[in-house]
């Protein structure tokens, strides 16, 4: 096995870490991985297979994995970052917006070198029925200047950039390599990973599983029970080409400014939502759909995206565009109460492998949570290696670290959100109720006098099958969840 020392020509298609004025000084040289000697205890783990030694092995060069590898390398630890794709981000799917402030910990003034399509200055929430829409449209010019709020970027670019930071700090990136299982010692402790390469297993004091949703390694370790479909949605998206100046004009922005539109009520009653994001010269449009409901609805996700694209409030943005790419991926939406145990002897979970995407209606954030948890996992692993205790107890401070920062604090605060947001009334009745009220308010009915708001509310509630008692209960529930 070749441990790629840097994202270089030895790693197909992986770009070199950006060279810019803010590039870090020469990275510390970590101890080189050593082939297993015949006397090494590791040789008994996988007889007949060569073994390389590292302080830590991180599986998955998504945002969680690269962040974890970066922290370990910065602490002077030898770390292998194993990625099944030919380069980081090559297989990764998401909607398109990253909230970058978590990168403050990675690099000061990260915005000067991060690969970005557009900086989001407009965030809109659109409540829809098949023929109507009501938008809450927020715009902030402050978001168009450093330190920025959100950016659209392609994962192939972003993940390669972040992995490049880890490599620059000394991590060894090993691409086109699948971790196929955990290596354990006689006592059952995790001591490395088996890979799909005939020439090598990777042995380490700590393994950090950052292999994404439905983590194979977390399941093998017994941390993740069988996937519960109710805790997952399917995200599907299309990337559509449009000239940059057409995007500017239609979305009301200028060259580096971008727009994020989230949609509710566009999924044929299947719990979920839609999104529309601007890149430099493409737009990403997609939907997120509850898996169990999709299974019984007998409708294909492409048909729902087609509905969204044809909606009268969306179609004018997309006129004349051509589909460049289609992709689909699972999203762990169970939130705080559905998360697995985060550590075992010699093992930590981070990012989507631990179910850390925050899906709370107006928020769909996973990359920042993956980076936050990856950084914490890398720090805790480095500390545990230094003090010589990589047992589950020795790694337990990972959980408290995350509870003390946004990763688990946000999840804890919003733990009831997935259930509320995906509930039948919010998904199927409130879009009609809200747009009925808007229509009543904005329709001029002369010579009939204007109806009062209470009358409009009662009428809309009746029409959409919601009792006033249910309305009050939902308002209280939403108030509690988003307090």
Ligand X SMILES: Cc1cc2nc3c(=O)[nH]c(=O)nc-3n(C[C@H](O)[C@H](O)[C@H](O)COP(=O)(O)OP(=O)(O)OC[C@H]3O[C@@H](n4cnc5c(N)ncnc54)[C@H](O)[C@@H]3O)c2cc1C
Binding site for ligand X (CB under 6 A): 59-65, 82-85, 91-98, 178-179, 210-212, 216, 235, 237, 286, 329, 331, 351-353, 357, 364-368, 370
User: CB of 277: closest distance to ligand X in angstroms?
Assistant: 7
User: CB of 222: closest distance to ligand X in angstroms?
Assistant: 17
C-beta of 402 vs 433, nearer to ligand X: 402
User: CB of 233: closest distance to ligand X in angstroms?
Assistant: 8
User: CB of 70: closest distance to ligand X in angstroms?
Assistant: 13
- CB count in 10 Å sphere of residue 446: 6
Residues with Cβ within 8 Å of 75's Cβ and at least 6 positions away in sequence, in order, are 378, 379, 382, 383, 386
C-beta of 45 vs 59, nearer to ligand X: 59
C-beta of 62 vs 265, nearer to ligand X: 62
Q: Which residue sits closest to ligand X, CB atoms considered?
A: 366
Could you please report the per-residue DSSP string of 157-201? HHHHHHHHHHHHHT-EEE-S--EEEEEE-TTS-EEEEEES-TT-E
C-beta of 160 vs 464, nearer to ligand X: 160
User: CB of 245: closest distance to ligand X in angstroms?
Assistant: 24
Q: What does the buried/exposed string (b/e) look like for 220-234 if buried means 16 or more CB atoms within 10 Å of the residue's CB?
A: bbebbeebeebbbbb
Could you please report the per-residue DSSP string of 234-273? EEEEEEEE--HHHHHHHHT--TTEEEEEEEES-STTSSEE
User: CB of 327: closest distance to ligand X in angstroms?
Assistant: 8
C-beta of 104 vs 470, nearer to ligand X: 104
Of 368, 371, 356, nearest to 165 (Cα)?
371
Look at the alpha carbons of 160, 351, 478, 230 in this order and tell me if their dihedral is positive or negative: positive
Residue 315, classed as helix, strand or coil, is helix
Helix H or strand E segment including 432: helix 430-442
User: CB of 88: closest distance to ligand X in angstroms?
Assistant: 6
C-beta of 13 vs 437, nearer to ligand X: 13
Q: What is the largest CA-CA distance in the chain?
A: 95
The CA distance from 302 to 295, in Å, is 14
Residue 105, classed as helix, strand or coil, is helix
User: CB of 359: closest distance to ligand X in angstroms?
Assistant: 8
User: CB of 213: closest distance to ligand X in angstroms?
Assistant: 6
C-beta of 170 vs 235, nearer to ligand X: 235
C-beta of 94 vs 143, nearer to ligand X: 94
C-beta of 64 vs 420, nearer to ligand X: 64
C-beta of 71 vs 83, nearer to ligand X: 83
- CB count in 10 Å sphere of residue 454: 8
Terminal C-alpha separation, the chain: 52
What torsion, rounded to 10 degrees, do the Cα atoms 406, 396, 356, 173 define? 100
User: CB of 216: closest distance to ligand X in angstroms?
Assistant: 6
The token duo for 184 is: 């354990």
Residues with Cβ within 8 Å of 413's Cβ and at least 6 positions away in sequence, in order, are 483
User: CB of 53: closest distance to ligand X in angstroms?
Assistant: 19
The token duo for 155 is: 């994962």
User: CB of 343: closest distance to ligand X in angstroms?
Assistant: 16
Tokens 């940059």, residue located: 244
C-beta of 116 vs 433, nearer to ligand X: 116
Answer whether 469's CB lies under 8 Å from 402's CB. no
The token duo for 88 is: 């980081």
List, in sequence order, every residue forming a beta bridge with 286; answer none if it has no partner: 237, 275
The CA distance from 344 to 224, in Å, is 11
The conformation of residue 337, written as its DSSP 8-state character, comes to: G
The CA distance from 457 to 433, in Å, is 8
C-beta of 134 vs 156, nearer to ligand X: 156
């Amino acid at each position: 096995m070749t441990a790629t020392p840097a994202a270089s020509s030895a790693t197909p298609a992986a770009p070199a870490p950006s060279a810019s004025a803010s590039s870090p000084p020469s990275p510390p040289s970590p101890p080189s991985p050593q082939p297993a000697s015949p006397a090494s205890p590791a040789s008994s783990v996988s007889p007949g297979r060569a073994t390389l030694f590292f302080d830590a092995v991180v599986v998955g060069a998504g945002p969680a994995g690269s962040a974890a590898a970066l922290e370990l390398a910065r602490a002077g630890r030898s770390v292998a970052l194993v990625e099944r794709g030919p380069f980081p981000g090559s297989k990764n799917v998401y909607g398109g917006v990253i909230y970058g402030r978590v990168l403050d910990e990675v690099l000061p003034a990260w915005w000067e070198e991060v690969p970005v399509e557009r900086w989001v200055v407009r965030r809109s929430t659109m409540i829809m029925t098949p023929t109507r829409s009501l938008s809450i449209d927020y715009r902030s010019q402050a978001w168009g200047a450093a330190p920025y709020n959100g950016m659209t970027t392609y994962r192939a670019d972003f993940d390669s950039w972040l992995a490049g930071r880890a490599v620059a700090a000394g991590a060894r990136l090993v691409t086109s390599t699948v971790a196929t299982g955990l290596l354990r010692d006689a006592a059952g402790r995790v001591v490395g990973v088996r890979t799909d390469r005939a020439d090598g297993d990777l042995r380490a004091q700590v393994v950090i599983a950052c292999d994404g949703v439905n983590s194979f390694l977390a399941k093998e370790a017994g941390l993740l029970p069988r996937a519960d479909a109710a805790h997952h949605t399917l995200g599907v998206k299309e990337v559509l080409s449009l000239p940059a100046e057409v995007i500017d004009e239609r979305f009301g922005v200028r060259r580096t400014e971008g727009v994020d539109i989230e949609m509710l009520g566009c999924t044929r009653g299947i719990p979920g939502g839609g999104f529309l994001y601007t890149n430099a010269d493409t737009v990403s449009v997609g939907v997120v759909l509850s898996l169990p409901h999709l299974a019984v609805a007998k409708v294909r996700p492409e048909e729902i995206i087609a509905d969204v694209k044809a909606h009268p409030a969306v179609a004018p943005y997309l006129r004349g565009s051509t589909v460049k790419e289609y992709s689909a991926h699972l999203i762990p939406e169970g939130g705080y109460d559905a998360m697995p145990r985060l550590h075992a002897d010699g093992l930590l979970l981070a990012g989507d492998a631990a179910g850390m995407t925050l899906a709370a209606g107006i928020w769909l954030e996973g990359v920042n949570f993956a980076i936050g948890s990856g950084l914490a996992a890398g720090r805790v692993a480095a500390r545990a290696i230094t003090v010589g205790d990589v047992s589950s107890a020795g790694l337990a401070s990972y959980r408290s670290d995350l509870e003390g920062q946004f990763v688990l604090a946000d999840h804890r605060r919003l733990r009831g959100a997935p259930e509320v947001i995906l509930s039948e009334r919010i998904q199927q009745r409130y879009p009609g109720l809200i747009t009925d009220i808007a229509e009543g308010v904005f329709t001029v009915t002369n010579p009939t006098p204007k109806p009062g708001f209470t009358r409009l509310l009662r009428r809309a509630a009746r029409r959409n099958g919601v009792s006033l008692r249910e309305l009050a209960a939902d308002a209280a529930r939403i108030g509690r969840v988003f307090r």
